[in-house]
Structure formats: C-alpha cells, structure tokens
C-alpha cells in the first residue's frame, strides 16, 4: 500500500510541478515577489498531496522565527527545504551553485533570491555568501542554511561545516537551530517512498550573536542533534505503532 500511495503522490508531484513550471514562465520576467508567490503555492500543493495521497502530515513546534535571522537546519530530505520555505515566508536559502543549472527548477530558484555558492571557490565563496546574506537580512528576510551541506540519514554521524560559523560571525544576528525527523518518512531510493505518519520540525532556542566560531558550532550541533535524536525516536515509535495495527 505504501508503494502504491507513494506512486500516486509522485504522479501528483510531477503534474503540479510541470503545470506550474511551464505556466509561470512569464514570472521570470516579472518582479521577484511573483516567483516567490508561485513557489509558495507549489509547496502548499505538494504538502496537500502528501496528506491526501501518501497519508503524510507534519507538525511545527517552537516559535517560528522573525525575519532578519540566520536559520540553521538539520537536513534529511527534500521535505525540509519545502517545509522551511513555506513556514519561514520567503527565506534566502543557501544552496550549491550547481542547482541553478537545472532547467526550470534552477531558473525559479535563482529568481526567488536564493544564495548560490560555489564550493570550489573557497574564501571567495564565503565572501560572496556573506554579502548576499547581508543583503537578504537588510530586506527583512531570514537566511536559511543547512550546516552539514548535504542530506543525512537519521542515524548518520553529524558533519557540521565551518561555513555556518563564518556566516554567523559575519552577520552578527541570532541563529535559530532547527531539528526534524523527515528522513524516517521521506525515504527509499531517490526519496521515492513516502511513509504515512507525521513529520516533526522544531524551531529550537535561538543562539545569540557574539559567540566564538568553535563555541558556536559546538552549541549548534548539540542543540540540533539532541533534539533530532528525540524526534527520531518519537517518529520510529509512531511507525512501529502503525505496523503493529
């Protein structure tokens, strides 16, 4: 049943993505806010499909941060980007530059005001990221970064990169850590399988500005990994209860 429901959701995902991507091509020539509106509608439709076809819902915990902050999130699946983009209301998402080369998707991501970084550029990439992030903060937007740089399985060892500490130190704003357990439900090869249940996402206690880089990374990792472990246990208990019925 899970495979069937996942297949139906995939068809919904493909249909919605194709219709909006083609139908809103003129938005690429219009002000950025038009693309942002379209992207949020797309995300909302995807979550509707998850509930209706895959039986997968979600719960947001903690206080959704105000604009003008750095948000550093655990990353387990594509679900995370969609949920945070919708919940934070027009964040500037830090992502790898290669994604901008994907037809349609990359065009809209670039137009939406994402912060694309070239990981091979070293210190120059950090300077460009900081400049773009400062501009976004100045516009009253939140800056969203996944500090491990890539998706991690629920039980994978953490690997927090120093880039988030550099960004935190240069911006001088508080950092809101985010924990989640989406990898338990959005899973399988290429994330095809969608298990029914409820994804948990929690905005944790903000980290004030002014910490030294090493201290900041330690606090950030401890808060995210501790809360994530609790959520993973909670999600696994939910899945086990469903299997035992």
Domain containing 223: what range? 57-244
Q: Contact at 8 Å (CB) between 233 and 226?
A: no
Specify the number of domains making up the chain: 1
Q: Is residue 79 predicted with pLDDT exceeding 90?
A: yes
In a domain, 143, yes or no: yes
**Residues composing the chain:** 245
pLDDT digits (tens, 9 = 90+) for 119-152: 776 677 778 889 999 999 999 999 999 999 899 9
Mean pLDDT of 76-105: 92
Residue 99: what pLDDT?
A: 87
In a domain, 86, yes or no: yes
pLDDT digits (tens, 9 = 90+) for 37-55: 999 999 999 999 999 999 9
């Amino acid at each position: 049943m899970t495979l069937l429901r996942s297949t139906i959701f995939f068809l919904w995902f493909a249909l919605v993505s194709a219709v909006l991507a083609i139908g809103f091509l003129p938005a690429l020539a219009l002000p950025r806010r038009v693309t942002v509106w379209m992207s949020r509608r797309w995300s909302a439709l995807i979550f509707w499909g998850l509930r209706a076809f895959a039986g997968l819902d979600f719960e947001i915990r903690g206080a959704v941060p105000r604009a003008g902050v750095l948000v550093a999130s655990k990353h387990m699946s594509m679900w995370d980007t969609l949920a945070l983009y919708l919940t934070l209301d027009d964040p500037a998402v830090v992502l790898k530059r290669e994604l901008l080369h994907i037809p349609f998707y990359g065009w809209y991501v670039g137009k939406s005001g994402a912060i694309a970084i070239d990981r091979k550029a070293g210190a120059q990439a950090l300077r460009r990221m900081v400049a773009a992030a400062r501009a976004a903060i100045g516009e009253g937007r939140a800056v969203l970064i996944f500090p491990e740089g890539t998706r991690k399985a629920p039980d994978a060892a953490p690997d927090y990169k120093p880039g988030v500490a550099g960004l935190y130190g240069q911006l001088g704003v508080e950092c809101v850590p985010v924990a989640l357990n989406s990898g338990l439900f959005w899973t399988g090869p290429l994330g095809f399988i969608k298990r029914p249940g409820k994804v948990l996402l929690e905005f944790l206690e903000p980290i004030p500005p002014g910490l030294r880089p090493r201290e900041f990374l330690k606090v950030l990792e401890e808060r995210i990994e501790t809360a994530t472990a609790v959520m993973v246990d909670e999600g696994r208990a939910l899945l086990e209860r469903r299997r035992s019925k």
